[in-house]
Amino acid sequence: MIIREVILENILSHESTRVEFIRGVNVIVGSNGSGKSSIIDSILLALIAPCTSALEEVVRAKLDNILRVGSQRGEVRVEVEVGGSTYIVKRTIERRGPREAASTMTLYDHNNRLLAKGREEVCSKVKSILGLHSPHKVLTSTLVSRQGFLTELLDMSPSERKERILELAGLQKLEEAKESLREVIRNLKFKVDLLRSKKENLKNREMKLRSIESEIGRLEGDIGELRKTLDGKLLEKSELEEKLSKLEKALKVWDRLKPLEELRQLIDEKERELERLRIEFSRLPQVDQALLEEIQKTWSLASDMEKRVGKAQAEVENLKSRIESFTKEAVEKLKEAGIEAGDIKGALEALDAELMKRVEALGALDAELKSVESLINVKPLEERCPFCGAPLTRDRLEHIIMEHKRRLEELKARKSVVSGEKRRLENVKNTVSRLNTNIEMDSREIEKALSNMEEAKRELEKFLNKCSEISPIFNVVKVAKVSDCPVKAVGELLNKRRELEVKIRETEKYIKDLREKFDEKAYRDLVEEWRKLSEGVDIASLEAEYESVRGEIRALENTIDEIKNRISKNSGALEALKKEALEIKSEIENLKAEIEKLPVKERILEVSGWVSDNLLGKEGLLALRLTEALKKSLESEANHILKLMGRDFNIKVHEDFTMTVMRGDQQLDVRSLSGGEKTMLAIAFRLTLASLLIEKPISTLILDEPTEYLDENSRKTVFEIIRKIAGYIDQVIVVTHDTEVEEIADRLISVSKDGGRSIVKVEV
């Protein structure tokens, strides 16, 4: 197995991490708590954890604690290479509650095709791929060394070490085999005892067989007599069935004739009904139906026209009243202005003329005012009049100025009067113009209303004329307005005509359909056939006779059924006895055959007991031989690996799995080894177990903090060993906080922490 890639999403302290591993030495380095061991935990979470319910033994955390803090979902994706094939294991974890989580597992090939789904299915497939019978215990005891567990097997007591190694080797199955054999022995003993009891019972079964054969002879005689009686009853039934067949033939003809007879009667009935409807229709008033329909259709419109005429008349009167009011108001305004109004338009022209006079007068006054103002402000030269040149005295000058000022005041007063007259005339003009506009608008509305009224009167007149045409039919003397028109009676007449027409058409169609269904020739043929078959007997008598014959047949059938039941019952009893006889014969033969095997089974029972007591179980001969072979293999393979590592000592595994170190001829306790040597021996022992317990070639070794608690020299020794191991193992993954490891790394993976999040960086 080669680990190729690990991808973590929200797992432990890793938010989003992708690590690629290569063949050779892969070193994951980082400070304590940085999250480097979490990468190994994740590999185990995917590959080993599915095969054990004890999750915490593998990843040292409960399922809900594996998710990164604050995350609801996480995923581990591990890609491995085994025997040249690539496999991808995915494990998805989802939080279900504050302290509850659930996971799903899938296994894919290199083409992303699904190979397995679910914990049990994935575990079974992974076991097969890795060549392990127990991935959980075998891997964590061999190729995967968790932090603090590298020397676990060396630190155990000999008895604990023996039990663990035998458990990993599967030797405990001998005890299971012994227990299974005990169950087989119990079953075999039960069968032997049973055969012995059957041997005693054989004579009783033979006596029972003779008794059954006697009863079989008696039943066969009874069945023969019953069959003779049955034949006589069947002949009698056959004669009655022939008579019943003739009666059935006649009744069948009647069944075919009856619906035709009923159909013929129905046709006659419907033709009488059609005649009655036609007479009823002919008695209705003969009026142009199109005219009736038009009156009914236009009645609502005529009512609207009548309403429109009344509304238009009221509108005209209202408009005339408004015009009269506007005219009166205009005349009064004109009188205020001193203008006689022959007509309003002429009065407006007179107003314009008066306004023009005022405008001209104001223009003349403005010119004179300017002239007088200029005279008052003129300064005379050399005390002479600027106009006539005559000498001016002071008194004369003041007199002239006073005269001009008086004239100025007179002009201003006159202008004020003329301006007032102008404004009054303008107000009158505006008011009269407005009133004249209203009069003109209302006049146009009157013309429009009169036009609509005339149109409505014409439509109304048409409707009233049509009503007058039909009114005598409904006893109406005169139609002067819409309400006089007998529309309700018209509707009733129309409905009656339509109803009768529909009924007549439907009845005609129904008769036509009935006639199409009625086969006249078949009817005549059936009538003739019925006369022959009934022989003058009415249908009621035939039906009574038919029921009588059927009753006789039913009674015979009951008797026949009773005889058949007795025959069947006796035959059943006979068959049961014959079957029982055959079974007893077979049982006797089987008993004889089984009893013949009794000596062999007794011998097998004896041999099985010896095998259970002497060969199987933890203390049996097989266990002792397998344990001895395993002990020798462990010692031989471990010393071979130590030699490859260049060590100058060997180990010896004793009967009780005590381990001692042999340095030359000197035998030492394992505890006498230095820290580095003990670590080296632990690695060698793990590789030895892996070679014995794992079917596939060893290709990967994972060491989590292998130099923990070692001094500098011991750490260097361990790193040298790891370098040598990498020479004959495809891949070594080392997790450590020692920076010296960079010297042996083919790939250096640095792990640090930033704000609670692990950061992974490949440096080599």
Tens digits of residue pLDDT in 506-539: 999 999 998 888 888 988 888 888 888 887 788 8
Nearest alpha carbon to residue 189 among 608, 540, 497, 573: 608
Quote the distance between the C-alpha of residue 160 and its chain's center: 57
648: its two tokens: 């100058």
Quick one: 731 exposed, middle or buried, by C-beta within 10 A (0-12, 13-18, 19+)? buried
Confidence bin at 451 (pLDDT 50/70/90): confident
Percent of the chain scoring above 90 in pLDDT: 14
* In contact, 296 and 530? CB cutoff 8 Å: no
If one counts every other C-beta atom within 10 angstroms of the C-beta of residue 490, the result is 22
Whether the predicted pLDDT of 356 surpasses 90:
no
Output phi, psi for 517, to 5 deg.
Answer: -80, -25
Q: How confident is the model at residue 54 (pLDDT cuts 50, 70, 90)?
A: very low
C-beta neighbour count of 389 within 10 angstroms: 11
**Taking all residues of the chain, what is their mean pLDDT, rounded to a whole number?**
82
pLDDT of residue 117: 92
For residue 525, give the amino acid letter: D
Residues whose CB falls within 8 Å of the CB of residue 187, separated by 6 or more in sequence, listed in order? none
Q: Which two tokens stand for residue 445?
A: 């509305």
> Whose structure tokens read 């393979």?
637
What one-letter code names the amino acid at 524? R
Report the DSSP beta bridge partners of residue 93.
Answer: 74, 103
Nearest to 362 by CA among 308, 302, 307, 417: 417
pLDDT score recorded for residue 2: 92
Q: How confident is the model at residue 331 (pLDDT cuts 50, 70, 90)?
A: confident
Distance CA 651, CA 388 (A): 164
What does pTM read for this prediction? 0.46
Instruction: Considering only residues 367 and 377, tell me which one the structure prediction assigns the higher pLDDT.
Output: 367
Local structure of 73: helix, strand or coil: strand
9: which 2 tokens? 């999403």
Are the C-beta atoms of residues 95 and 64 closer than 8 Å to each other?
Answer: yes
Q: Which domains does the chain have, with CATH numbers?
A: 176-250+536-610 (1.10.287.1490)
Residue 152: how many CB atoms within 10 A of its CB? 17
Beta-bridged to residue 107, according to DSSP, are 89, 116
* Helix, strand, coil in percent for the chain, rounding step 5: 70, 15, 20
Burial readout 576-601 (b: 16 or more C-beta within 10 A, e: otherwise): ebeebbeebeebeeebeebeeeeeee
* Nearest partner of 514 among 200, 274, 182, judged by Cα: 274
Who's near 619: CB < 8 A, 6+ residues apart?
none
Q: pLDDT (tens digit, 9 = 90+) per residue, 184-240?
A: 767 777 777 777 787 778 778 878 888 888 888 888 888 888 889 889 888 988 988
Q: Which two tokens stand for residue 219?
A: 């039943």
Q: Does residue 684 have a pLDDT over 80?
A: yes
Is residue 623 within 8 A of residue 171, CB to CB? The reply is: yes
pLDDT band at 80 (very low <50, low <70, confident <90, very high): very high
Return d(Cα 515, Cα 4) in angstroms, integer. 93
- In terms of residues, how long is the chain? 764
What would the DSSP string read from start to end of 289-339? Answer: HHHHHHHHHHHHHHHHHHHHHHHHHHHHHHHHHHHHHHHHHHHHHHHHTT-
